[in-house]
Amino acid sequence: MSWRVVARRDVDVLRADRSFLLFPGFFGLLAAAMAYAFTRGPASTPLSSGLALLFLFAVPLTAGTVTHEAIPSAVSSGRIRLALSLPHSRPAFLAGTGVARLAVTVAG
């Protein structure tokens, strides 16, 4: 078994947790607000610049939000014990978890 199996299982957990709906919805609303601000008025307004700056900081903050509890939540729920009882190495588990969280961030 490889990191792909771990990533697929972690994506399934995130899908059940509705993280796939929350973050794309947030970025969709943010992009709609930016599009509305850019199409109205002059080319560069303080509001549109502020929204662009907010979007610039929102992506890394979302990535941090998605990934900061990846391993500790698996430890507290016992999911890591189950995952490591299967023939996964620890580096494969970490890589699979990272790829799954990256997929959620990129999907958003």
Tally the domains of the chain: 1
Cβ neighbours of 62 (radius 10 Å): 17
Distance CA(35)–CA(20), nearest Å, equals 23
| Residue-wise pLDDT tens digits, 35-44 | 777 777 666 6
| Residue-wise pLDDT tens digits, 54-79 | 777 877 777 777 677 767 777 777 77
- The pTM score is 0.54
Domain that holds residue 28: 3-107
- As a whole number of Å, the CA-based R_g of the chain is 18
Rounding to the nearest 10 degrees, give the CA dihedral for residues 103, 105, 106, 108.
120
